[in-house]
């Protein structure tokens, strides 16, 4: 990967760029002084950062590639819902209003359907008056898979120690609560680290399963590899433009440099390439 004019390197770089990938290793990984071991990630990935890539220690004639990986937390889903504030409702006044409505406001000469509708509308109006609807924001926090019964029990003990320290204001109780909180955080980090390591190790040499597992850990959905388009015709032209731009960027310079341009590029291909370079309009495909 360090030889600029190598044909295989050019083709591999073109392949990485086509699939939106980037290579991070910049130091020699082989005893001969070349870069043979790679660390590849998606371009512009906001959930994963790869920093401080370096090579250390030799394994046979290769070196170990080390890097700092920073994984972002999955996004927390927040939504707005409407709820009745029943905790502050005056139950005595609510009961009195219901009894008054039942005794005086319900018509006696009604069919079953009319009576059911009357009860529904009347009781709903009384309930909304005493416990009005209010808009509140909730946060969806699914239980992580690494949270086990031991962690939950330890968390409950921490909360109990916190409540006890607030009531007694005793210095020993406060120190005990702080120490329990530190122990809980250490146990949580250790448990989470073991879970993630075991999850990744279970993928073995299956790179496809590794990508799926990383996306699950980061809470990411399946990305759409296609560019934004309005119809199939526009997508086809965008794909053609992209292909010929990459062809002109990687393949043609190498072929010109190696005196193969006049042998491998038919005239019709040159005409198509020139047509693409003029950036044809895609309005004709829009409906």
| Other beta carbons within 10 Å of 27 | 13
Q: Does the pLDDT of residue 9 top 70, yes or no?
A: yes
For residue 59, is it left (φ>0), alpha (ψ between -120 and 50) or beta? Answer: beta
Mean pLDDT of 26-43: 85
Tell me the per-residue pLDDT of 57-112, one tens digit each, with 9 for 90 and over. 777 788 888 888 877 776 777 888 888 888 888 888 888 888 888 777 656 667 77
Q: Does the pLDDT of residue 3 top 70, yes or no?
A: yes
Tell me the per-residue pLDDT of 208-232, one tens digit each, with 9 for 90 and over. 888 888 877 776 666 666 777 788 8
Reading the block at residue 84, the tokens are 């009745």
Is the whole-model pTM more than 0.75? no
C-alpha dihedral (271, 277, 283, 287), degrees to nearest 10: 70
Give, in order, the Cα–Cα distances in Å from 77 to each of 71, 91, 138.
18, 34, 9
User: Of 66 and 272, which is predicted with more confidence?
Assistant: 66
Question: What DSSP designation does 284 have?
Answer: G
Q: Does the pLDDT of residue 158 top 90, yes or no?
A: yes
Give the total residue count for the chain: 287
d(CA 284, CA 234): 9
**The pLDDT of residue 162:** 93
Tell me the per-residue pLDDT of 244-265, one tens digit each, with 9 for 90 and over. 777 777 666 766 666 544 445 4
């Amino acid at each position: 990967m360090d030889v600029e004019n190598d044909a295989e390197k050019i083709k591999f770089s073109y392949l990485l760029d086509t699939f939106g990938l980037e290579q991070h290793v910049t130091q020699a990984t082989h005893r001969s002084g070349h870069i043979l071991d790679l660390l590849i990630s998606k371009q512009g990935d906001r959930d994963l950062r790869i920093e401080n890539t370096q090579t250390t220690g030799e394994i046979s004639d290769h070196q170990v590639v080390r890097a700092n990986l920073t994984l972002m937390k999955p996004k927390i889903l927040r939504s707005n819902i409407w709820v009745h504030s029943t905790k502050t409702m005056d139950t005595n006044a609510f009961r009195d209003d219901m009894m008054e409505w039942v005794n005086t406001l319900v018509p006696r000469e009604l069919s079953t359907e009319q009576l059911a509708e009357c009860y529904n509308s009347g009781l709903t109006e009384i309930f909304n008056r005493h416990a009005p609807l209010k808009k509140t924001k909730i946060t969806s926090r699914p239980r992580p898979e690494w949270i086990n019964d031991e962690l939950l029990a330890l968390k409950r003990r921490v909360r109990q120690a916190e409540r006890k320290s607030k009531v007694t204001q005793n210095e020993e109780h406060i120190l005990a609560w702080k120490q329990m909180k530190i122990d809980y955080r250490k146990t949580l980090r250790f448990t989470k680290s073991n879970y993630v390591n075991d999850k990744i190790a279970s993928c073995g040499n299956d790179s496809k399963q590794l990508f799926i597992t990383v996306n699950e850990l980061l809470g990411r959905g399946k990305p759409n590899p296609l560019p934004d388009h309005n119809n199939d015709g526009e997508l086809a032209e965008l794909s053609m433009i992209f292909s010929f731009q990459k062809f002109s960027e990687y393949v043609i310079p190498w072929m010109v440099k190696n005196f193969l341009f006049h042998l491998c590029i038919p005239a019709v291909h040159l005409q198509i390439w020139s047509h693409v370079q003029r950036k044809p309009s895609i309005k004709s495909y829009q409906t």
